[in-house]
């Protein structure tokens, strides 16, 4: 059985009632509580806030009562799970994806600062979710970081429902924070060719970065490559792998030039780029930018820019965006369209260079 708080306008008031739904049948129960639909005074707004909170509390208790009858005391105790403990558990499940894991841990850190005392799921209300959202908004973070942290928190609440820790998601109707389209820094084909001619203080970084530019693979997928994961099909090498970020399984073609960039491995099951670790550390990033700077390129380049470089060059050379989306392992074409916008902007800039005197 599912119980939902609903509203019905009648006369000059909005009456609150519980909607019971089970096996295709629906029944209602009036709470004899009302809201002012067009609250104009401070007293009316206060009445609406307090009354709605009371009604939501009644709804929650009714759902708990039904749950206890349907599943028993053992299942009811799941709602006593501490929210932070559950968030930590979800984060640990993502430990094999360093960037994602780091983002989850950062979000949890902010939640701990927001909720310094313990908080169980049966104490978590929609108002509390809204308060955490407001807290994130006030933090000195980029807009996309704020969006990411709150989106992860909402995803955790949805997962809590999936795992039957709670029966209703208190954040279901809380809106996401806005997301800004981030700038995709990349190298042009001319810049990439110029960089490839420069020596790097750490050749392994140069090889890995150029390999990323020629394949579009993420850093986490590149460092996982071993000779055993390569197989030749005709004149092309294929890499069957599960992407570290999306967990999607696919076959990825590796061109001959990219294949030549792979270092000599210690053994067939040893990573080609052994020595870079699971995450490019700060000293290695400094070496990377120093190497890029030798080609007189002023852009702020990180290793992930190799993937952006691959995508923008592919599109500029005429690769179909749907094919590129598959090569990048994107779940949605919309994600790939960001690169198309970059290429279109460059075309506009190029067109404006021709001027008549």
Contacts of 194 (CB under 8 A, 6+ apart): 295, 296, 297
Of 96, 119, 106, the closest CA to residue 153 belongs to 106
DSSP state of 168: S
Residue 237 vs residues 12, 66, 330: alpha-carbon distances, Å: 72, 58, 21
Q: If you compute the radius of gyration of the chain from its CA atoms, what whole number of angstroms results? A: 27
Per-residue confidence (pLDDT) for residue 165, from 0 to 100: 87
Sheet holding 25-35, edge to edge: 2-10, 13-22, 25-35
What average pLDDT does the chain have? 84
What residues does each domain of the chain span? 2-71, 80-162, 189-351
Tell me: pLDDT of 107 over 90.
yes
Instruction: Look up the pTM and report it.
Output: 0.54
Task: State pLDDT tens for residues 175-234.
Answer: 998 876 666 788 989 999 999 999 999 999 999 999 999 998 888 888 888 988 888 877
Question: Which residue has 């929650």 as its token pair?
Answer: 60
Pick from 124-133, 178-187, 257-266: least confident: 178-187
Tell me the two tokens of residue 103: 């983002």
Task: State pLDDT tens for residues 53-91.
Answer: 999 989 888 877 776 655 444 455 676 889 999 999 999
Contacts of 4 (CB under 8 A, 6+ apart): 18, 19, 21, 59
Backbone phi and psi for residue 16, each to the nearest 5 degrees, phi listed first: -105, 140
Tell me the fold of 189-351.
Answer: hpI Integrase; Chain A (1.10.443)
């Amino acid at each position: 059985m599912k119980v939902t708080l609903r509203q019905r306008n009648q006369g000059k008031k909005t009456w609150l009632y519980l909607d019971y739904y089970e096996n295709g049948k629906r029944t209602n129960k009036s709470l004899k509580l009302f809201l002012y639909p067009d609250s104009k005074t401070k007293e009316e707004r206060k009445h609406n806030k307090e009354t709605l909170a009371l009604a939501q509390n009644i709804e929650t208790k009714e759902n708990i009562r039904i749950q206890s009858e349907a599943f028993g005391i053992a299942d009811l105790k799941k709602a006593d799970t501490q929210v932070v403990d559950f968030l930590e558990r979800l984060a640990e499940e993502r430990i094999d994806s360093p960037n994602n894991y780091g983002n989850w841990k950062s979000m949890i850190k902010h939640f701990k600062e927001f909720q310094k005392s313990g908080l169980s799921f049966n104490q978590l209300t929609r108002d509390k979710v809204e308060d955490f959202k407001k807290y994130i908004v006030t933090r000195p973070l980029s807009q996309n970081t704020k969006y990411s942290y709150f989106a992860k928190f909402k995803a955790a609440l949805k997962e809590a429902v999936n795992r039957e820790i709670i029966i209703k998601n208190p954040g279901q109707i809380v809106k996401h924070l806005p997301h800004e389209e981030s700038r995709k820094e990349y190298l042009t084909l001319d810049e990439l060719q110029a960089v490839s001619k420069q020596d790097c203080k750490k050749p392994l970084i140069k090889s890995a970065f150029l390999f990323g530019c020629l394949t579009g693979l993420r850093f986490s997928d590149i460092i996982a490559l071993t000779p055993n994961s390569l197989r030749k099909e005709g004149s092309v090498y294929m890499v069957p792998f599960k992407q570290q970020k999306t967990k999607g399984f696919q076959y990825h073609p590796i061109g001959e030039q990219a294949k030549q960039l792979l270092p000599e491995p210690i053994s067939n099951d040893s990573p080609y780029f052994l020595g870079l670790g699971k995450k490019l550390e700060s000293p290695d990033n400094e070496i990377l930018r120093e190497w890029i700077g030798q080609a007189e390129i002023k852009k702020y380049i990180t290793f992930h820019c190799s993937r952006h470089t691959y995508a923008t060059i592919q599109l500029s050379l005429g690769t179909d965006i749907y094919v590129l989306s598959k090569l990048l392992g994107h779940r949605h074409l919309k994600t790939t369209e960001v690169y198309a916008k970059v290429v279109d902007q460059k075309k506009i800039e190029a067109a404006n260079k021709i001027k008549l005197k």
